[in-house]
Each structure stands twice: as structure tokens, then as C-alpha cells.
Amino acid sequence: MGKLLIVGSIAFDEIETPFGKTGKILGGAATFIGLAAGQFRVDAGVVSVVGDDLPEEYLNLLKERDIDVTGVEVIQGGKTFYWKGKYHNDLNSRDTLVTELNTLGDFDPVVPEDFKDADVVMLGNLHPNIQLSVIRQMKVRPKLTVLDTMNFWMDNTWDELMEVIKLIDVITINDEEARQLTGEHSLVKAAAKIQNMGPKYVVIKKGEHGALLFHKEYIFFAPALPLEEVFDPTGAGDTFAGGFAGYLAQTKNISFESLKNAIVQGSNLASFCVERFGTERMLDLEKHEVDLRLAQFKELTQFNIELT
């Protein structure tokens, strides 16, 4: 059983999709990553910051899944990060209606002593300087450091992002971000350029079109499981990342074959996340459901052609 350090936001999300709308519900990258990683046998801990307006029961949801939250700083009198968004009809795009950084704006992460020797570090989407601070606090170089980021940081904090990208092993970004980061339309060319920036592995998330893993001349692809209905895509990317990192922390095997399996595990868990609003589906997800869908995932992708 490996140790997994998760860094990311814990948030109030307010979501509108064609199927309905929520009030303020639990969200945030660290939340989704934690809930996904909680499906594996890992010793996981979260570093984050919230205000004292976050209901205690929200943190308890992580605690109940044996996720250490001593690294979650609660700012007295502070407000928790709040995001409100509305998805378009095809659910492939969304408008951000409100972003209030609140306590996340001054987030100065402190890694608990117990997690300074984590096997895997999962850096959720945050200001690159926060991600950098966490990397620098580690006492032992992790077996694998995974970084998630987004176009916002490419637009606004390019130099800082380049600094952190140099130091990590795996980057997870979407296809448009990979193109923005490199100026290459071809994802094969983009992934090669990104590897030259530092990361040995590049994971390109294509949403409903699956995910690609690149490493040297090797490429692996996992589709998203075709669903009757995507209800709410919020958190799917973080759930993917949490499944990916959680599986690798459990196995402590950082071979390409193992990373392929991690991509499949991440895709599999993300297929549940989108079935209901926010964290709802991940909170009642049971092991036998995960295993059943993993079997479906194999049926979806595995074939048997004899090569002559």
C-alpha cells in the first residue's frame, strides 16, 4: 500500500446542466481526486484550504474513506472557494458564471510531515507556485509526481508553469491545452514537445473522446465508456486523475504497462462521476460496481486478432 499526497481545491460548486440545477454543493479538484483514489488501497492525504463556512460533514466524507485531512487548513472567518457554472446543451462546453477564490487566493500549502515521503504526488489544478511549493516540501523524491493544469495558467503564469513542468513526471491536460502549450495541432507532435519540457509521460484528456498516454515512442489510448446519458461532467477530469494516481500509489509500479492500467482505471471511474450531479455518484459507488464496469471496459476495447 503506497502513500498518495493530493493537493487541490475543496470548493462549493453550483451547477446548471440541461437536466437541472444544484444549490451550493461539495466540489473541488482535491475532493474528486480523493474520492476516486479512495477506491484503491492507498494511504492518502489531502492538502487544501477552506473557510469555516464549509460544513464539517463535507470533510467527514473524506475522513470516512480513510483520507487524511490534517493537511486541510480551515481559515476562521474565511470563505471557501466558490465556482458556479452552466453547461451548454451538448455538455461539452460550459460558461463560468462566478469564480470566488476566497481562501484559495492566499493558499500557502503545508505538507504534513507524514506525507513528505509520499510515493505519488497528485498536484491538482492550482496556481503553479502552489504546486511548486508542495514539490519543494517533499523530503524524498516521489516515485511519481503528476500535475494537472489548465489554459488559465498558460495565459497568466507561463514562466511559473514552465518552472513546475520541469520538475514533474506526468502532466495531464486536455487536447486544446496541449495545443496551446506547444503550438502544435497534432497531438502526437504536441506530446513530443511537452516531453522535451520535462515530463516523461504526457496524458491528454479528450473528454468523451477518451484519453491518450504518451511516453517516448509509445502511445496508449483508452476511450470514455459510452453512456446513455452524461448528466454532469463536473469533476470528471479530476476523478480520472484521482483514479490514475490512486491506482499507481496502490501498485507502486511505475512501468508503462502499469500506467496504461492506471489510465483505464481513471477512465472507468470518470464514467461514474458524470452520471449524477457533483460528487453524488462517487459517494455511493461500490467496489462491485467498479469491477463490473471494468469488465465492460475490457469488452469495449479488447480484441483478438492473430498477427501473421
What are the CB-based long-range contacts (under 8 Å, 24+) for 283-287? 283/35, 283/61, 285/39, 287/39
Which x/- pattern, by CB under 8 A, does the window 145-184 give for a copy of itself? ----------------------------------------
Q: By CB under 8 A, is residue 193 in contact with a copy of itself?
A: no
N-term to C-term CA, the chain: 41
Binder to a copy of itself among 112, 210, 275, 280 (CB under 8 A)?
A: 210
Which element (helix H / strand E) includes 25? strand 25-27
In this chain, which of 1, 97, 110, 188 binds a copy of itself, going by CB under 8 A?
188
Residue 21 sits in the site that holds a copy of itself (CB under 8 A): no
State the DSSP code for 117. Answer: T
Q: C-beta of 290: minimal distance to a copy of itself in Å?
A: 10
Please give the grid coordinates belonging to residue 110.
Answer: 503545508
Site for a copy of itself in 93-122 (CB under 8 A): none
Candidate list 65, 86, 116, 260; residue touching a copy of itself; CB under 8 A:
260
**Min CB(241)–a copy of itself separation in Å:** 18
> Which residues, 6 or more positions from 216, have their beta carbon under 8 angstroms from its beta carbon?
195
Residue 87 CB, shortest distance to a copy of itself, in Å, is: 13
Using the rule CB under 8 A, which residue among 53, 99, 223, 276 binds a copy of itself?
223
Stretch that binds a copy of itself, among 28-36, 41-49, 60-68, 300-308 (CB under 8 A): 300-308
Selected from 55, 139, 186, 284, the binder of a copy of itself by CB under 8 A is 186
> Nearest CA to 189 among 170, 181, 151?
181
Query: Would you count residue 1 as binding a copy of itself (CB under 8 A)?
Result: no
The least distance separating a copy of itself from the CB of residue 39, rounded to whole angstroms, comes to 12
Tally of CA atoms within 13 A in the half-sphere of 139 that contains its CB: 9
> How many other C-beta atoms can be found within 10 angstroms of the C-beta atom of residue 79?
17
- State the DSSP string of 174-226: EHHHHHHHHS-SSHHHHHHHHHHHS-SEEEEE-GGG-EEEEETTEEEEEPPPP
Which of these segments, 22-30, 47-55, 72-80, 211-219, binds a copy of itself (CB under 8 A)? 211-219
Q: Judged by CB under 8 A, does residue 70 bind a copy of itself?
A: no
Size of the site for a copy of itself (CB under 8 A): 40
Position among 206, 252, 253, 275 found at the interface with a copy of itself (CB under 8 A):
206
Burial of 234 per CB tally in 10 Å (0-12, 13-18, 19+)? buried
Q: Is 196 in the site for a copy of itself (CB under 8 A)?
A: no
With contacts defined by CB under 8 A, name the span among 56-64, 139-147, 275-283, 292-300 that binds a copy of itself.
292-300
Restricting to residues 78-97, name those near a copy of itself by CB under 8 A: 89-90
Residue tagged 513528505 (cell numbers): 116
List the one residue from 97, 219, 284, 289 that touches a copy of itself (CB under 8 A). 219
> What is the rounded distance in angstroms from the CA atom of residue 67 to the CA atom of residue 241?
16
Helix (H, G, I), strand (E, B) or coil at 170: strand
Alpha helices by DSSP H, 38-123: 56-63
Strand, coil or helix: 249: helix
Which residues form the interface with a copy of itself (CB under 8 A)?
Answer: 89-90, 185-189, 206, 209-210, 212, 218-223, 226-230, 257, 260-261, 264-265, 291, 294-295, 298-305, 307-308
